[in-house]
Amino acid sequence: MRINLAAALAALAVLSLAATASQAEDEHRELGAHVHGHGTLNIAVEGETVAMELEVPGMDIVGFEHEAESAAQKAALAKAKAELSEPLALFKLPASAGCVVKEAKVEVEVEHEHEDGDHDDHAKAEDHDDHHADADHDDDEHEGHNAFHVTYALSCQKPANLAAITFDYFKAFSGAQELTVNVVTAKAQSKYEVSRDKPELDLGGMM
């Protein structure tokens, strides 16, 4: 039976919203909106469906954040997209769980950084001499950082056997250092940290 990725992600959003909303707010304050080396992986298990969502800075994956320009950069981007399309090679699940990939979607998005809402009022209060400084700031404000947004839908015959994940993701992408992993199942919801030094995640009790 074909899994609809949109439906799987909708389930992920519903299941993980309460679990990750406050966590995401805390991380935004602590880490900022864009931190090199650090990404987020959300996992939701509902029945035999496992929905996964990976968000990570472009620097971690391809070593640059601007639009691919040279032939080498375009080749690196294509290679990265191909690797990210194979989740079971990056996030190794127990064979006994019987998981297969039903859908995978890899997107490269641009993250824009914005100032607070009172920026315009502040600018109006500045003298004319500051015009050029403000113009320069506006240019910076419109600059963005490329980030990968990847979604997966898996089907697992025995989801109860999803007791651990091995993150070969760190072997594939030399710029990746850490991942915050949010996991939501029918039994529990929890937040974990995995890293290049500790690439194993124990999910005992979650399934």
Helical (H) or strand (E) element with 207: none
| 3-state SS class at 76 | helix
Return the structure tokens found at 90: 């990056």
Give the pLDDT score at 113: 54
Segments of the chain assigned E as strands = 38-46, 49-57, 91-92, 99-112, 144-156, 164-167, 178-184, 189-195, 200-202
CA distances from 142 to 104, 112, 138 (A): 30, 7, 6
Segment-wise mean pLDDT, segments of 10 residues, the chain, 207 residues: 56 50 43 70 96 96 91 96 98 98 94 49 42 41 74 97 97 96 94 97 92
111 has which bridge partners? Answer: 145
Count of Cβ atoms closer than 10 Å to residue 131 Cβ: 11
Listed residue (90, 15, 104, 99) closest to 49, CA to CA: 99
166 has which bridge partners? Answer: 92, 200
Give the pLDDT score at 100: 98
- Cα–Cα distance between 56 and 24 in angstroms, integer? 14
Return the structure tokens found at 134: 């403000």
Give the pLDDT score at 74: 94
Listed residue (81, 96, 88) closest to 161, CA to CA: 96
| 3-state SS class at 109 | strand
Task: Please provide the distance, in angstroms rounded to a whole number, between the alpha carbons at the two ends of the chain.
Answer: 23
The DSSP 8-state label assigned to residue 197 in this structure reads S
- Cα–Cα distance between 108 and 67 in angstroms, integer? 9
| SS3 per-residue string spanning 22-40 | HHHHHHHHHHCCCCCCEEE
Domain ranges of the chain: 5-202
